[in-house]
A and B are shown apart, each in its own frame.
Chain A
Amino acid sequence: MLLAPLLGSFLGCPPPEDSAGACAPEIETFAAEGAPITLETGAVGLIRAYPISLPGSGTLKLRITGPVEVVDAAGSVLTEVDAPAEVYLRATGSGVGQIIVSAGRGCATKIEVRGVTPAPLVGRPRWYSPFWQSATSFWAGESVDLGLDPARFPDRVGIPFDAYVVAHRSTETWASDAALVGLAGTPVEGTLEAGILAPMELAVLDAGDDALGEYDIVIDQDRDGLLGPGDLIQGLGSAGITVLGDLTQPGPHAVETDDVSGGWFLGERVWWPADLAALGPRPLVVISHGNGHEYIWYDYLGEHLASWGYVVMAHQNNTEPGIETASTTTLTNTDWLLGHLEEPGGGALVGLVDSTRIGWIGHSRGGEGIVRALDRLVDGDFVPDNFGADNIRYLASIAPTVFNPLDDSDPHDRPYLLLAGTADGDVTGGVESPIVQFFRIWEKGTGPKAAAYVHGASHNDFNCCAAQEGQGPSLIGRDEAQVVARAYMLAVARAWLDGDDALLDVFRNEYAGFVPLSFASADIVATSWRNAATAGDGVLDDFQTEHDADVSSSGTVVTCTADMLLEDQLRDRDKVLAWSEDDPMNAMTHNGLPGDEAWGAVFSWSESSAPFWAVEVPESLSDSTPWTTISFSVAQRSRHPETDNWGGAMAFGVTLVDQDGVESTVDFADQALVPFPYARLGNGTGRGWANEFVTVRINLADFTVGSEIDLAQLAEVRLDFGEAHGAPSGAVGLDSVEFAR
C-alpha cells in the first residue's frame, strides 16, 4: 500500500558475479535507476527506514555487509525473507554497505546503500560557494528554503515529492500520529533535479507569541500525506527548525514592580510578570550594578525579562571597597529576597519563585562580583540559607573588571555570557591593564560561553543614567546598546534557565549572516561561542599545548604559507596598541597576566599572495560524522599594517580534504565575516582597539553539497586567505580549530 504509487522502478545495479541472469530476485523500490540508496541514520521504527518490495516467491537469503539492516514492518531484523514481502532498510551507521538478496542456485541481486548522518534539509541560499548554507534556525519572516542535494540523494533524482512544514512533534507523537498537517502554505510539490543543489522556497514562518517557533520539515516522498518509510524528516527528536522572533521587544506578560529593603545594602527593585500566579514558579534573575551605579538604573532589563516571564531583582551592590564586598551583596541580596518573598508586591511572589533556577547578571565591578560570588559558593566560603551553588544556572557579565586572580573570579563550569562595548571608556577592554581585559574571565570559564562585543557601545550605555564616557567613532548610544542588551540577555536567560537552546544561535551563527531582528543595520557585533570543555568537541588545534607553530595541539602537522606565523599567549606584551614587530600579539586581550592560559596563533599576508593555514586531521578525528560543524575563532589584528592595508571586514575560505584527496570548500568571499577592528584612537599611534575574535561555525553537511568528499575520512582542514577569498592582505589571530556539535 505504502509503496504502491512508487513501485515500478527496478533497481538498476548490475547483478553480482554469482547471479544467474533472469533468475535473480526482483526488487522494487522508488530509487532512481542505478543509484545507490542513501539511508539517513537515526531511524526510529520505520521513520527514516527505506521501503523495498520483493515481489517474487520463495525464500530469499539476505547477505548484508556494512552499516545497514533489513527489518520487517514490526522492526524485527531479518536475515531471510519469504517473498512476496515488503521490507525496510535502515542505516546502523555511516558508510557504504550492500545487501545481496539471494534466491539460491547462484541467483542473487545486489542493493548498494550508503549510510549518512542526517543533515538539515533546509537553509539559505548564499552568494558564496557552495551557494547554500544549511540551517536549523531562522528569523521570523525569513524565507525557509528547501535544499535537497542530488549528490546526497542520487536515488531520489527525478522523483516528485511533497515538502511539508509541520508543527514540531516529539518522536513518540510522530510514532502514534504520522499524519502530515502542512503549515504556511505547505505542502509544496517538488522534484529533485539532477545537477547542483537548487534551493526551493518553502515557507515564511512566524515565531509565535513566545518568539520561538518549533517546526519539523518532512519530504513526503510517496506523497501519501503520512510520515513513513522512504520519507525524509528534519526534526526527529528535537525540533527540525526553530524560528526566532524579535528578542528586543517586550514579551507577552504585563509587568509589576516594587522596591523593597532588608536594611544595609539590601535595597532591591523587583519586577515580575503580572500573571505570575498563573505561570507558576519562575526562575529568578538578579542584576548587580557597578561602581558608582545604582540598582534603580536597570529598568530596561528588569522590565524586559519580566515581560518574558522571569522574576527579576536588582540590588544595592557594595562595589567601592572591591570585588569581595560586591560579591557579598550579590549573595546576601539573593538570599534575602528568597527568604522574604512576602515583601515585594504584598506577597505576590510567595511560592512563585523557583530558587533552583537563578541567573546572575552583573555590570562592571558587579560583573566580576557575580563571578566571584559563584566561586565563593563553589568553594563553600559563603553558605546562603535559601539557595546553593548548583542553583546558579548562568552568569552574564557586562564589561566586567578583572581585579582578582582568575582562580578567585572563576566562572567554573557555569554557562557564561560576556557583553561589552568597544567604546568603553571605563573598563576599556584595552591592553593597558589586565584589570580591564574582560575576555580573561571568559577564557577562564569551562562551561558553555558566549560573547558579544558591540562596536560603538560605551560602558554606561548599559544602564540608564551614569555619565557617558564612550570613546571612539560611531557611538551607537544608550538606546541602541540597550536594544542589543535586551536581545542577548533574553537569549541566555531562556536558553540557560528554560532550556530554549536554539536561542543561543544568536552567538553560534556568524553575526553578519544572522543579525537579530530590530538591530540597527549599522550595528556590528563580534560574537563568540565556545562549547563546554566537557562537550566532547574534536579539537584539531586549540594552541593550548604543543607550542611549536608547526605542530597542532592534537599532535599533527600544521602547514602555513602565510608570513610571520607565531603561536603564543594571547597577550599584548608592551601594553601599547601601536603596532610593533617586537610585539606580534599586539592588541590581544584574552591573556593578560602570567598564569593566564589562553594561547593562539597569528600570521599575516600581503597582496599578491594566496596563503593558507592547514592542520592535518589526526586519525582519531578523521571520522568527523559525530560532529555537525567545523568551528574556529578568528580576529583581525588591530593596527597591524596588513590589516590597515585591507581596511575592511574580511572573509576567507575553509577547505576540507579527505583521505582520497577530495577537497570541498566553503568560501565566504565578500561576506563581512570578521569585522574590521573598531577604529578607536589612543594608547599609541594608529586606529583600532582590542582584537575582536569571532567564532565561525560551518555545518559539515555544507561541504558535501555537490561534492564526493567523505566526511568519515578527513585528512586536512585548511583556511585559505588572499584576494580570491575575500581579503588581498590581512593579519589575523586564530584560535580553537575544532569539530563541534
Chain B
Amino acid sequence: MIVFVLGLLAGVAGAAEPPPVRGIVSAVPFTLSVPYRSDWSAEHPEVRSGTLLVLDVESSWLVLRNGPQPVLYVGAAPAEVLRRDVEAGRVVVVVPGAIGPEVAVFFGGEALPETVTVEAGKLELAGALAGGAVPLRVPQSATVERVLDHAGLWRLAGG
C-alpha cells in the first residue's frame, strides 16, 4: 500500500487553474484498531474509521505558511493532512467516518484547523457551495485497509 500511495503522489499535477482542488485521485477506506482523537477541529472527534483521500491540488495552495492561511475542507470538516507533495500537487488527507459518492473539497477562510467548530465548518461549506464549489466524485474502493493506529495511518499515507 505504501507503494500504491507513493505512486499517486508521484503523479503529474494538472493545469494550474482554479479551483485549487482539481479532483480526488484516490480514496482508501480504513478502520483503526486503536482510535484516536483528531486535533484538526475544535471538537476533537474520535476517529475509528474513515477514508484516506489523495487530492489533486494546485501546488501554490499547498505551500505551508505560518501566518493566517486558508483551511482545506472536505465537506464541512477541516481535512487532516497526513502528507503533501507540493511539487506534484498532491496531498493525502483523512476523512473520518463515512463518505458519500461525492463531496465538496475546498479551501475555506483563514484559520487554524484546530479552532474550527462544527458550526463554523457548516458555514464554510454552505459558503463554498453558494460560491460555486462543485462536489467532487469520490473514487470507490472495495478494499478496506485495517490499520493499527494513527501512526500506522501516517505510514499508510507514505510517511
Question: Is the CB of B132 closer than 8 A to any CB of chain A?
Answer: no
Chain A residues contacting B154 (CB-CB under 8 Å) are 264
Which A residues have a C-beta under 8 Å from some C-beta of B? 263-264, 290-292, 318-325, 328, 364-365, 399, 401, 403, 426-428, 433, 435-436, 459, 467
Q: Is the CB of B151 within 8 A of A264?
A: yes
- Given A321-B39, A322-B112, A322-B114, CB of A364 within 8 Å of CB of B66: yes
Give the contacts of B68-127 with A (CB-CB under 8 A).
68, 80-81, 112-115
Distance between Cα atoms of A403 and B65 in the complex (Å): 13
Q: Closest CB-CB distance, A539 to chain B, in whole Å?
A: 34
Q: A401-B67, A403-B112 are in contact. List 20 more A-B contacts (CB 8 A).
A: A264-B154, A291-B66, A292-B63, A292-B65, A292-B66, A318-B39, A319-B66, A320-B113, A321-B39, A321-B80, A321-B112, A321-B113, A324-B39, A325-B114, A328-B39, A403-B115, A426-B65, A426-B67, A427-B67, A467-B63
Question: B40 contacts which chain A residues (CB < 8 A)?
Answer: 321
Are B113 and A401 neighbours in the complex by a CB distance under 8 Å?
no
**Which 6 pairs, one residue from A and one from B, show the smallest C-beta to C-beta distance?**
A292-B64, A322-B112, A322-B114, A364-B66, A321-B114, A264-B151
CB pair B68–A324 under 8 Å, yes or no, is: no
By CB atoms of chain A within 10 A, which of B39, B80, B113, B150 has the most? B39
Q: Tell me the bound Cα distance from A3 to B2 in angstroms.
A: 90
Q: Which one of A290, A320, A324, A467 has the greatest number of beta carbons of chain B within 10 Å?
A: A320
Chain A's closest residue to B115 (CB) is: A322
15 contacts across the A-B interface (CB closer than 8 A): A263-B151, A264-B150, A291-B66, A292-B63, A292-B65, A319-B66, A320-B81, A320-B113, A321-B113, A324-B39, A364-B66, A403-B112, A426-B65, A426-B67, A433-B67
Known: A264-B154, A318-B39, A321-B39. A436 touches B67 (CB 8 A): yes
User: Interface readout for B51-65 with A: 1 if CB under 8 Å, 0 if not?
Assistant: 000000000000111
- Report A-chain residues with C-beta under 8 Å of the C-beta of B66: 290-292, 319, 364-365, 399, 401, 426-427, 459
Residues in A with CB closer than 8 Å to B112 are: 321-323, 403
Give the residues in chain B near A325, CB-CB below 8 Å.
Answer: 39, 114
B residues within 8 A CB of A427? 66-67
Residues of A within 8 A of B114 (CB): 321-325
Separation in Å of the B149 CB from the closest CB of chain A? Answer: 8
Most buried by B among A321, A322, A323, A436: A321
Q: In the assembled complex, how far is the CB of residue A689 from the closest CB belonging to chain B, in whole angstroms? A: 15
Closest to A366 in B: B66
B interface, CB within 8 angstroms of A: 39-40, 63-68, 80-81, 112-115, 150-151, 154
How close is A328's CB to chain B, nearest CB, in angstroms? 8
B113 touches A322 (CB 8 A): yes
Q: Which residues of B contact A399 (CB under 8 A)?
A: 66
A321 and B72 alpha carbons, distance in the complex (Å) = 11
- Chain B residues whose CB sits within 8 angstroms of the CB of A426 once the complex forms: 65-67
A433 touches B68 (CB 8 A): yes
- Within the assembled complex, what's the spacing in Å between the Cα atoms of A428 and B66? 10
Query: Across the interface, which residues of A come within 8 angstroms of B113, CB to CB?
Result: 320-322
Q: Which residues of B contact A321 (CB under 8 A)?
A: 39-40, 80, 112-114
User: How far apart are A407's CB and chain B's nearest CB, in angstroms?
Assistant: 15
Bound CA span A36–B80, Å = 79
| Complex interface: chain A residues within 8 A of B39 (CB) | 318, 321-322, 324-325, 328
Q: Tell me, rounded to whole Å, the shortest Cβ–Cβ distance linking A320 to chain B.
A: 6
User: Chain B residues near A291 (CB, 8 Å)?
Assistant: 64-66
Q: Given the complex of chains A and B, what is the CA–CA distance between A321 and B114 in angstroms?
A: 5
B41 shortest CB reach to chain A, Å: 9
How far apart are the CA atoms of A264 and B112 in the complex, in Å?
Answer: 21
In the complex, the chain A residue whose C-beta lies closest to that of B66 is: A364
Give the residue name and chain of the B residue nearest to A459 (CB).
Answer: B66
Q: Given known contacts A321-B113, A322-B113, A403-B112, is B67 in contact with A428 (CB within 8 Å)?
A: yes
* Complex contacts, A467 vs chain B, CB 8 Å: 63
CB distance from B155 to the nearest CB of A (A): 10
Residues of B contacting A320 in the complex (Cβ-Cβ under 8 angstroms): 64, 81, 113
**Residues in chain A near residue B80, CB distance under 8 A:** 321
Q: How far is the CB of A405 from chain B (nearest CB, A)?
A: 11
Q: How near does chain B come to A82, taking the closest CB pair, in angstroms?
A: 79
Minimum CB distance partner of A402 in chain B: B67
A436 to B80, CA, bound (A): 24
In the bound complex, CA of A436 to CA of B67 (Å): 6
* Residues of chain A with a CB closer than 8 A to B65's CB: 291-292, 426
Q: A292: which B residues are within 8 A, CB to CB? A: 63-66
Which chain A residues border B151 with CB–CB below 8 Å? 263-264
A413 to chain B, nearest CB (A): 26
Residues of B close to A433: CB separation below 8 A: 67-68
CB-nearest residue of chain A to B68:
A435
- Alpha-carbon distance A323/B68, docked complex (angstroms): 12
Nearest-CB distance from B51 to chain A (Å)?
19
- What's the Cα separation between A403 and B113 when bound, in Å? 12
Q: How far is the CB of A386 from chain B (nearest CB, A)?
A: 22
* Min CB–CB distance B37 → chain A (angstroms): 11
Chain A residues with Cβ below 8 Å from B115 are 322, 403
Shortest A293–chain B CB gap in Å is 8
* Cβ contacts under 8 Å, B68 to chain A: 433, 435-436
Contacts of A428 in B (CB 8 A): 67
Contacts of B63 in A (CB 8 A): 292, 467
Residues of chain B within 8 A of A318, CB atoms compared? 39
B50 to chain A minimum Cβ distance, whole angstroms, is 16
A267 CB to nearest chain B CB (Å): 11
How far is B68's CA from A433's CA once the two chains are assembled, in angstroms? 9
Smallest CB–CB gap between A552 and chain B, Å?
37
Q: How far is the CB of B129 from chain A (nearest CB, A)?
A: 25
- Most chain B CB within 10 A, of A318, A364, A403, A427, is at A403
Residues of chain A contacted by B150 (CB below 8 angstroms): 264
Task: Name the B residues within 8 Å of A328 (CB-CB).
Answer: 39
Q: Which of B66, B80, B150: most chain A CB closer than 10 A?
A: B66
CB distance from A435 to the nearest CB of B (A): 5
In the docked arrangement, what's the CA distance between A365 and B81, Å?
17
Residue of A nearest to B38 (CB): A321
Q: Which residue of B lies closest to A428 (CB)?
A: B67
How far is B151's CA from A427's CA once the two chains are assembled, in angstroms?
A: 31
Q: How far is the CA of A290 from the CA of B66 in the complex (A)?
A: 7
Give Cα distance in the complex from A467 to B65, angstroms.
Answer: 10
Once the chains are docked, how many angstroms separate the CA of A320 from the CA of B62?
12
